[in-house]
Amino acid sequence: ERDGRSFAGDHGRGDAPDQLDTPTDVVVDQRTNRLIICDAGNRRIVTCSLDGEDDEYAVLVRDVSCEGLTVDEQGYLYFSDSQKHE
């Protein structure tokens, strides 16, 4: 929650840009000040801003069975895909 507002899920479970379905992991990209979420039920990785200036949600990766993720110091995103065993 940010300033009394939710980042996602205000409208329940779903596949709209601001909805999640079975999120499995979340990280903060400190370089861009963005939240990155494994949205396993929708088979995607999504991002949204933490600074309040940009409430746009963006899909970073589609068609992935994401179970976990991390961002390194250089801003590279790493994630697992349980269906592809990668």
Cβ-in-10-Å burial (0-12, 13-18, 19+) of 53 comes to exposed
Count of Cβ atoms closer than 10 Å to residue 31 Cβ: 11
pLDDT in tens, 35-51: 999 999 999 999 988 87
Residue that wins the pLDDT comparison between 24 and 56 = 24
Say how far apart CA 53 and CA 24 lie, in whole Å.
26
pTM, full prediction: 0.81
The confidence band for 1, taking pLDDT boundaries of 50, 70 and 90, is very low
Are 20 and 8 in contact, with CB atoms under 8 Å apart?
yes
Q: With 80 as the cut, is the pLDDT of residue 83 above it?
A: yes
Strands (E), 1-86: 23-29, 34-39, 44-49, 57-62, 66-71, 77-81
